[in-house]
């Protein structure tokens, strides 16, 4: 145990909490390396570029002046972000709060980061969707045993989808599930 939180495995990449495992957070890095981060505020922001170390895992990325600083940096969640290819060597990670313009040495490096960012989004979506399915099944089981009931006309969600759900679809399902759980608890 570390600071009263459950961790799994051993070593530097294994100190994830049980909660982050269930929701696709943390884990071993999908990609690490340097990129140039352009400033986003102030007069000289379009000119200033700072070399930063980035570390991407399934829950997002952190960055800093070097690998050590990145480990303590603020986590940027990419789950609901838009990843936009801007030029042959640049992309932007657009979150609800901020846009992160990044430049790489060449097109191959940019493409590699682009694919890794999309992979991180999909891994997180898969983990959240699996959690929703487990909660839906538990609620269905409780409803079947008479401890909870579905509202009239409320449909049961298909547990097998034909295609991977988008983050927005997952959040809509999570919102609907939350409303159902609130009714059961009331």
**108-137: average pLDDT:** 89
Beta-bridge partner residues of 92: 84, 101
> Does residue 134 carry a pLDDT above 80?
yes
Selected residue with higher pLDDT from 16 and 5: 16
From residue 70, alpha-carbon distances to 12, 53, 110, 181 in Å are 14, 6, 20, 38
Angle at 94 between CA 92 and CA 96, to 5 degrees: 165
26-82 pLDDT, tens digit each: 678 999 999 998 876 555 555 678 899 999 988 789 898 888 888 888 888 888 889
**119-123: average pLDDT:** 90
φ/ψ of 104, rounded to 5, equals: -120, 170
Residue 16 CB contacts under 8 Å (≥ 6 apart), including other chains: 7, 8, 25, 26, 27
Residue 9's Cβ-count burial label (10 Å; 0-12, 13-18, 19+) is exposed
For the chain, give the percent of residues with pLDDT over 70.
Answer: 69
Selected residue with higher pLDDT from 36 and 23: 36
> Does residue 111 carry a pLDDT above 90?
yes
Cα 83 from Cα 74, distance rounded (Å):
19
CA dihedral 17, 19, 23, 25 (to 10 degrees): -20
Number of H-type helices and E-type strands within the chain: 4, 6
**151-172: average pLDDT:** 58
What is the model's pLDDT at position 66? 85
| 24-121 classified as CATH 3.40.630.40 | no
Q: Which of 55-59, 131-135, 149-153 has the lowest mean pLDDT?
A: 149-153
Cα 122 from Cα 114, distance rounded (Å):
13
The tokens for 83 are: 């990843």
Selected residue with higher pLDDT from 142 and 52: 52
Q: What is the mean pLDDT of the chain?
A: 74
Provide the whole-model pTM.
0.66
């Amino acid at each position: 145990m570390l600071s009263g939180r459950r961790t799994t495995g051993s070593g530097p990449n294994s100190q994830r909490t049980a909660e982050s495992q269930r929701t696709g957070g943390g884990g071993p890095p999908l990609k690490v390396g340097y990129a140039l981060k352009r400033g986003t505020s102030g007069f000289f922001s379009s000119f200033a570029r700072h070399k930063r170390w980035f570390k991407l895992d399934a829950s997002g990325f952190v960055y800093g002046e070097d690998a050590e600083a990145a480990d303590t940096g603020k986590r940027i969640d990419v789950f609901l972000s838009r990843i936009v290819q801007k030029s042959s060597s640049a992309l932007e990670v657009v979150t609800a709060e901020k846009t992160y313009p990044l430049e790489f040495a060449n097109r191959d490096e940019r493409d590699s980061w682009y694919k890794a960012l999309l992979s991180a989004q999909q891994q997180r979506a898969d983990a959240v969707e699996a959690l929703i399915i487990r909660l839906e099944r538990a609620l269905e089981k409780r409803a079947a045993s008479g401890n909870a009931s579905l509202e009239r006309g409320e449909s049961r969600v298909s547990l097998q989808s034909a295609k991977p759900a988008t983050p927005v679809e997952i959040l809509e399902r999570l919102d609907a599930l939350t409303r159902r759980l609130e009714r059961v608890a009331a």
